[in-house]
Amino acid sequence: MPKIVFVQPDGRRQIVDAPVGQSLMEAATQNLVPGIVGECGGSCSCATCHVYIDEPWFSQLTPADEMEAGMLEGAVAPGPHSRLGCQVPVTDALDGLVAHVPPGQ
Ligand code: FES
């Protein structure tokens, strides 16, 4: 099963098992990763699942669609590697993906 690494702003790391097909948000909330709430349940309307995704994984993802990009504009401290975790499904190719929780989220 792919492993996803969530990193807190203070550098604390949490490695979780994420079944293929689950979203990064679901993997985070099911493992109680602080700072990732998933308030809207994954319907791309809250941005409480915002993360920064490291390379090389970021470039492998299907780019954010218009709705996700719009939500990211209103997210906490958006950056060039921002994604909504609920819009990123886990695949085998993403094993080891590193996702950073934005400071203050
Ligand atoms: Fe609400 Fe991702 S869980 S936008």
- Ligand 1 mutation target, pool 23, 25, 26, 101, most atoms within 8 A of CB: 25
Which tens digits make up the pLDDT trace of 7-60?
A: 999 999 999 999 999 999 999 999 999 999 999 999 999 999 999 999 999 999
Q: In angstroms, rounded to a whole number, what is the distance separating the alpha carbons of residues 35 and 49?
A: 8
Ligand 1 center to residue 104 CA distance, Å?
17
Q: Would you state the pLDDT for residue 80?
A: 97
- The predicted model gives 64-72 an average pLDDT of 97
Q: Is ligand 1 within 6 A of the CB of residue 99?
A: no
Q: Would you state the pLDDT for residue 90?
A: 98
- Ligand 1 mutation target, pool 22, 26, 45, 73, most atoms within 8 A of CB: 45
Task: State pTM to two decimals.
Answer: 0.96
Q: Would you state the pLDDT for residue 101?
A: 98
Q: Would you state the pLDDT for residue 63?
A: 97
Identify the helix (H) or strand (E) that includes residue 73: helix 66-73
Q: Would you state the pLDDT for residue 18?
A: 98
Q: Is ligand 1 within 6 A of the CB of residue 25?
A: yes
3-state secondary structure of 6: strand
Looking at residue 9, what DSSP letter applies? T
Q: In angstroms, rounded to a whole number, what is the distance separating the alpha carbons of residues 18 and 4?
A: 7
Say whether domain 3-100 belongs to CATH 3.10.20.30.
yes
